[in-house]
Copies of this chain bind each other. A is one copy, B any other.
């Protein structure tokens, strides 16, 4: 019989509706009520833009002001995503323990490394995380993680309405 045990459920969240749907599905289907599960919400901030020297030495694409503004914007987006995700958790399973984690980098690497480092019992994610164009070049984030992550991976697509 299935015993109560503390599971660490890692959920990759991003700006898209799909990842919030994956989170909801996980809360309704995978998290047992009255369980000791901990949900770890992971957001990976895109790597900082590369500062190409387009005008030769000394000429940079972005000034320090601009990069600082981009950095602040990234932090704000991460904050908003986490607030939204925490609200979804509170609405569906108010008792569940929730932790949040924001990392910099390519989501494919960030997610797989976090799954390993946090010893996640299961990784939950939407089926992508890039736009159409970027996905065509880089492949799907979920495909990559399904192959690389050692823990079970649950991929939830947003149903077409």
Contact = CB atoms under 8 A, between A and B. Distances in A.
Contact of A93 (B2, B29, B157): B2
Contacts of A100: none
Contact of A143 (B7, B31, B146): B146
B30 A30 contact: yes
B159 A150 contact: yes
Contact of A29 (B2, B156, B159): B2
A63 interface: no
A100 to B, nearest CB: 22
Interface in A104-141: 121-122, 127, 140
Closest 3 CB pairs of A and B: A152-B156, A154-B154, A2-B28
